[in-house]
Structure 1
Amino acid sequence: MLQGLGISEPGERIYRLLLTETACEPGDVGSRLGLAPGEVADALAGLQASGLVEEYDNGTGAIRPVHPTIAFAPLLARARVALRAESQRIELASATVEELSALQSHGVAAGSPEVELNRGPAAAFSCLERIAATARDDVLVLAASGPAPGVPDPTDYSPVVQLAVSLAERGVRLRVIMLDSINYLTPLVEGARRMQQAGVEIRMSPTLPVWTIVVDQDYVVTALDVADHDRGSMLVRTPGAVAAAGDLFGRCWRAATPLGETEPGRAGGPLTAAQHQLLVMVVNGSKDEAVARRFSVSTRTVRRMIADLYEVAGVTSRIQLAFRAAKLGWLDGSELDRL
Structure 2
Amino acid sequence: MLEVLGLTAQATEVYQAMLDHPAHGVDELSAHCGLSPAEVHSALDELGRRALVRASADRPGQVRAVSPEIGLADMLAEQEAELAARQAQLAASKAAVTRLVADRAEHRASHGERLLGMDAIVGRLERMARETTIEALGCQPGVQRPEDLAVGKVTDAEILGRGVSIRSLFQDSTRNQPHVFTYAHWLLSNGGEVRTAATLPSRMVIVDRRQALVPIDPDDNRKGALHVTEPGILAALLDLFEQAWNTAVPLGTTAPGDPATGLSNTERELLRLLGGGLTDDAAGQRLGISSRTVGRHMASIMERLNAASRFEAGIKAAQRGWI
Q: Do the aligned partners of residues 190 and 154 (structure 1) sit closer, same or farther apart at CA in structure 2, a change above 3 Å counting?
A: closer
Q: Do the aligned partners of residues 166 and 298 (structure 1) sit closer, same or farther apart at CA in structure 2, a change above 3 Å counting?
A: farther
Matches within 5 A, 1:283-302: 283-302=275-294
Q: Do the aligned partners of residues 170 and 299 (structure 1) sit closer, same or farther apart at CA in structure 2, a change above 3 Å counting?
A: farther
Q: After superposition, what is the alpha-carbon deviation per residue over 1:285-336, rounded to whole angstroms, capped at 9, x for unaligned?
A: 42122012202233344334444544555556422432342344322xxxxx
User: What SS does structure 2 have at the residue aligned with 1:229?
Assistant: coil
Q: Do the aligned partners of residues 243 and 283 (structure 1) sit closer, same or farther apart at CA in structure 2, a change above 3 Å counting?
A: closer
Q: After superposition, what is the alpha-carbon deviation per residue over 1:18-73, rounded to whole angstroms, capped at 9, x for unaligned?
A: xxxxxxxxxxxxxxxxxxxxxxxxxxxxxxxxxxxxxxxxxxxxxxxxxxxxxxxx
Preserved CA contact (<8 Å) 2:201 2:244: no
Please tell me whether residue 214 in structure 1 is matched to residue 211 in structure 2. Answer: no
Q: Do the aligned partners of residues 156 and 245 (structure 1) sit closer, same or farther apart at CA in structure 2, a change above 3 Å counting?
A: closer
Q: Distance in 2 between matches of 1:213 and 1:320?
A: 42
Preserved CA contact (<8 Å) 1:114 1:237: yes
User: What SS does structure 1 have at the residue aligned with 2:278?
Assistant: coil
Preserved CA contact (<8 Å) 2:111 2:229: yes
Q: What's the TM-score once normalised by structure 2's chain length?
A: 0.59
Q: Which amino acid aligns with 1:190?
A: T
Preserved CA contact (<8 Å) 1:220 1:241: no
Higher Cα Rg, which structure: 1
Q: Distance in 2 between matches of 1:117 and 1:294?
A: 25
Q: Which amino acid aligns with 2:189?
A: Q
Preserved CA contact (<8 Å) 1:144 1:178: yes
Specify which of 258, 261, 275 is matched with residue 269 of structure 1.
261
Preserved CA contact (<8 Å) 1:145 1:210: no
Preserved CA contact (<8 Å) 1:266 1:272: yes
Unaligned runs of at least 5 residues, structure 2 = 1-106
Specify which of 79, 100, 117 is matched with residue 120 of structure 1.
117
Matches within 5 A, 1:121-270: 121-147=118-144, 153=145, 157-270=149-262
**Sequence identity (%):** 29
Partner of 1:87: none
Q: Distance in 2 between matches of 1:324 and 1:205?
A: 26
**RMSD, matched Cα:** 2.7
Q: Distance in 2 between matches of 1:283 and 1:238?
A: 37
Q: After superposition, what is the alpha-carbon deviation per residue over 1:126-164, rounded to whole angstroms, capped at 9, x for unaligned?
A: 2222233332111112223354xxxxx588643334433
User: What SS does structure 2 have at the residue aligned with 1:247?
Assistant: helix
Unaligned runs of at least 5 residues, structure 1 = 1-109, 148-152, 332-339
Q: Which amino acid aligns with 2:254?
A: T
